[in-house]
Amino acid sequence: MNDFPNTKHPTAWSEPFNQISRRNITVIGGGIIGLSTAYAAAVRGQGKIKVSLYEADQVGHMGAASTDMNRVFRYLNGPDPTLTIWAKEASSLWEYISRLSGQSLFHRTGVLLLVHKQGDPAHRGHHIWPYDDIGVWVDESVRNLEAEDVPFQRLNRQDITKRFPQFRDNDIEEAILDHEAGYLEAQTALHVLLDLCIKVGVNYYPYSPVQGLSSDANGCLIQLKGGEEIRSDAIVVTLNGWTGDLLPLPTNTLNLAEQPIIYLSPPNDASGLSEGELPVFISLDTDCYGFPVNNGVLKVGDDNPYRPIAHPNQRREPDKTYIERVITTVAQLVPSLENSQIARTHVCFYDRSKDERFILDAWDNDARIVYGCGMSGRAFKFGPIIGERLARFAVTGERPSDLESFRIR
Ligand SMILES: Cc1cc2nc3c(=O)[nH]c(=O)nc-3n(C[C@H](O)[C@H](O)[C@H](O)COP(=O)(O)OP(=O)(O)OC[C@H]3O[C@@H](n4cnc5c(N)ncnc54)[C@H](O)[C@@H]3O)c2cc1C
């Protein structure tokens, strides 16, 4: 297993909390953020904290945003240096989880970020938001990699052709190869984390939708379906697009959008698409992306928001024209995908904050209710870090310093 960066001592999980002010923590939502929060609270609590995890369905159900074959892990995350620092820390934790579970969850295929000569300005947006100029975004992102000693390469057109002959779009001008990046086996990771949670004593309650919550200076209360009430010292709400069901967020705090994913069966004669040959790729101009073939299928998608929705339960199947457009756009980059068959599709959703930064905050003055949302289609990779920060916030009642800039806007 690759050892970049140092994966030996992930301090975020190996050290006990300095201070424990709350000894009974309720976590609501069993996606990557809730599982990571519950695990961090229990493992760092070292038997002194009771942790209960309530999930409306069950961990790994297909309606949650965390459930999918794979999720991109990249160190290059734009101009905010915190995200590159967090990626390094998260990378250690993902390797640690892999080691603990004996499952290789992190595939370091590299991530290739492609820049076109004449990108379509109408499409620019999601990946490089809020920058209009891809060049500025790339330069600032790369500066963060340099500052953190993360290996990367800037490839010109000739380098790309030599190294990755699969990409035959002549309009590609340059690419950044985020060397040690790749993808995480998302669905497997959820089950691995659930097992780890149970091993460290987390009480897991599937099929237990929480219907209401409240707090005062003495503690918190949740209401379950059927009227049962449960008390704890602090609550962590990790409900993604469902957050508004329990916390009355100000209007427009979160904008939900459908995000269809397409799984392709490439033509039999297509070559160069398997892991080790094809890196994860992202076109910064079109926002379309793809993964190497995994279990016979190659996943592609468009990071731009598709249809706006008011609630995750409003998702519908995508239009045929949308699917065809995404496949055509991806096949322009990698022509051997042209005659692929659609194996299946799935409609996920993003919970976009106004500025696409995460919202990791306390709902009340005492930080008895801590919450994370606004993950804006990027949080899977940071799950273990965000979970550790939310757990620490809830257990100590004190905001971790690197969450200052993630208050609700
Ligand atoms: C198409 C797509 C591609 C993405 N690609 C990437 C990527 O490549 N890299 C990356 O890092 N990130 C990516 N993301 C983003 C990432 O997957 C999400 O940010 C992350 O999974 C969100 O995790 P979560 O735990 O907040 O939410 P979820 O996984 O949605 O979990 C929320 C849970 O809360 C439960 N719940 C809801 N209501 C209640 C209730 N009342 N009581 C109890 N439980 C409740 C739900 O059932 C659900 O299980 C992508 C997202 C999508 C949709």
Dump pLDDT digits (tens) for 162-192.
999 999 878 899 999 999 999 999 999 999 9
Q: Is the CB of 30 under 6 A from ligand 1?
A: yes
CB of 71 within 6 A of ligand 1: the answer is yes
354-391 tens-digit pLDDT: 999 999 999 999 999 999 999 999 999 999 999 999 99
**Does the domain formed by 108-179+254-352 have CATH 3.40.50.720?**
no
CA of 135 to the centre of ligand 1 (A): 30
Task: Assess whether the previous peptide bond of 400 is cis (omega < 30° from 0).
Answer: no
Same fold, 13-67+187-252+356-406 and 108-179+254-352: no
pLDDT at 252: 93
Dist CA 243 CA 237 (whole Å): 7
Strand 71-73 vs strand 106-107: parallel, antiparallel, or unpaired? unpaired
Q: Return the CA Rg of the chain.
A: 21
Q: Is 176 left (phi over 0), alpha (psi -120 to 50) or beta?
A: beta
For 342-354, give the DSSP string. EEEEEEEEEEEET
242 lines ligand 1 (CB under 6 A): yes
Determine if ligand 1 sits within 6 Å of the CB of residue 312. Answer: no
Domains of the chain, by residue range, sit at 13-67+187-252+356-406, 108-179+254-352
Q: Over the stretch 244-263, which tens digit does the pLDDT of each residue have?
A: 999 999 999 999 999 999 99
Q: Give the model's pLDDT for residue 123.
A: 57
**Ligand 1 centre and the CA of 79: distance in Å?**
24
Atom of ligand 1 nearest to the CA of 67: 29
User: What pLDDT, on a 0 to 100 scale, did the predictor assign at position 127?
Assistant: 74
Grade residue 209 by pLDDT with cuts at 50, 70 and 90. Answer: very high
Share the mean pLDDT of the chain. 93
Instruction: Indicate whether residue 33 lines ligand 1 (CB < 6 A).
Output: yes
Q: Is the pLDDT of residue 61 over 90?
A: yes
Q: How far is the CA of 78 from the centre of ligand 1 (A)?
A: 21
Indicate whether residue 302 lines ligand 1 (CB < 6 A). Answer: no
pTM (2 d.p.) = 0.96
pLDDT band at 10 (very low <50, low <70, confident <90, very high): low
* DSSP letters spanning 116-172: ETT--TTT--TTTTT-S-HHHHHHHHHHHHHHTT--EEEEEHHHHHHH-TT---TTE
- Pick the residue whose CA is nearest to atom 39 on ligand 1: 56
Choices 3.20.20.70, 3.40.1710.10, 3.50.50.60, 2.40.50.140: CATH for 13-67+187-252+356-406: 3.50.50.60
Ligand 1 atom 21, closest CA: 66
Q: 29 CB under 6 A from ligand 1?
A: yes
Strands in 71-73's sheet, in edge-to-edge order, are 71-73, 182-184, 106-107
The pLDDT value recorded for residue 120 is 63
106 contacts: CB under 8 Å, gap ≥ 6: 73, 91, 94, 95, 98, 182, 183, 184
Kindly tell me if the per-residue pLDDT of 109 is higher than 90.
yes
CA-346 nearest atom, ligand 1: 1
- Closest ligand 1 atom, CA of 29? 34
Q: Which atom of ligand 1 is nearest to the CA of 59?
A: 49
Atom of ligand 1 at shortest range from CA of 71: 8
Q: Is the pLDDT score of 5 beyond 70?
A: no
pLDDT of residue 292: 98
Q: Which pLDDT score, from 0 to 100, does residue 6 have?
A: 47
User: Is the shortest distance between the CB of 34 and ligand 1 below 6 Å?
Assistant: yes
Cα-to-centroid distance, 220 and ligand 1 (Å): 24
